[in-house]
Amino acid sequence: MAQDNNRAGISKADTLAVLVLLLFPLLMKMALWLPLTDRPVHFSGDAVVLMYPWIQTTVDAWQEGSVPLYTPYEGLGRPLHTNLQAAVFYPGTWLLALIFGGGISYSIFQFYFLLHLSIAAVGTYILARFLGIRALPSALAGMIFVAGGFFLNHVSILSMLASAAWVPWAMAFSLQVFRKGGVRWIFPASIFVALSVLGGLPQPAYYGLAFIGIAAAWIAVDSRSIRPLVVLVVILVLAFALAAPALLPGVWELDDLQRGGAARKMM
């Protein structure tokens, strides 16, 4: 995956590293969240009282063949699609609805958490490899990213993890567009940027977009060409178009939310 390996394709080291990173979050859960007690520690807090009910309501609606536009279970009823954290238009939610026809148990929900940690770890590995780093330190980067303070401190907030998981992917593929050119990289980069918003909380996407913007400007100055900046605009336009069904209703409702004022300033 690194520059030296682009012609040779994916090496055995890459395959092994990806397999290890896919399993690494499960090992983390066993080591950190299942201590040697009679009452194992699972995902708790917001995961139980907010994230699970939101996702369950969204999945139930999709399984019934209706768009999750409303929930009667919150307050006296409120729109559901305007709640970004309900992930109504997130493909991961659609996948849950497609696979688990009888609803999702809390065990499945916990696995869904871990799946996003695996996505984040593999994405970080790909980013490092695209930057020319060898397989072993790239794999260590993936492990450090998902075992670091950000993910552990937000372990009960699925929307934050789901959005952050796609940021390394967006960074990696955007960087490839700027460095190598080629239309084939643009659409994947746009998809990953959109996924980092559709996951539920767009804040992590801002950090990724800051990196992408700086990288585009740096490469544009270094190459004395505006092409990276033009490509950046194309990526952002496509990503916004993909995320608009979730993003626009969420922005419109900010004034009615308890934290809406601060969120609107951030947006």
The tokens describing 135, both together, are 């397989």
pLDDT at residue 185, as a whole number: 87
pLDDT at residue 27, as a whole number: 83
Residue 48 buriedness (CB in 10 A; 0-12 / 13-18 / 19+): middle
- Provide the pLDDT confidence category of residue 213 given band limits of 50, 70 and 90: very high
pLDDT at residue 262, as a whole number: 44
Ranking 35-39, 75-79, 124-128, 251-255 by mean pLDDT, the lowest is: 35-39
The DSSP H or E segment spanning 213 is helix 203-223
Residue 91 CA to residue 129 CA, distance in Å, equals 26
The DSSP H or E segment spanning 265 is helix 260-266
Radius of gyration of the chain (CA): 19
Q: DSSP for 116-160?
A: HHHHHHHHHHHHHHHTT--HHHHHHHHHHHHHSHHHHHTTT-HHH
Contacts of range 261-266, beta carbons closer than 8 Å, 24 or more positions apart: 266/203
The tokens describing 219, both together, are 């490469």
What's the pTM? 0.84
pLDDT at residue 85, as a whole number: 87
The residues that bridge with 71 in the sheet, in sequence order, are: 78
- Provide the pLDDT confidence category of residue 31 given band limits of 50, 70 and 90: low
Q: DSSP for 2-67?
A: -GGGTTT-S-HHHHHHHHHHHHHHHHHIIIIIS-SSSS---S-THIIIIIHHHHHHHHHHHHTTS-
Average the pLDDT over 182-196 and give the result.
91
Is the distance from CB of 162 to CB of 154 less than 8 angstroms?
no
Arithmetic mean of pLDDT over the chain = 83
Is the distance from CB of 122 to CB of 18 less than 8 angstroms?
yes
pLDDT tens digits along 97-156: 888 866 778 778 878 888 999 999 999 999 999 999 999 999 999 999 998 888 888 877
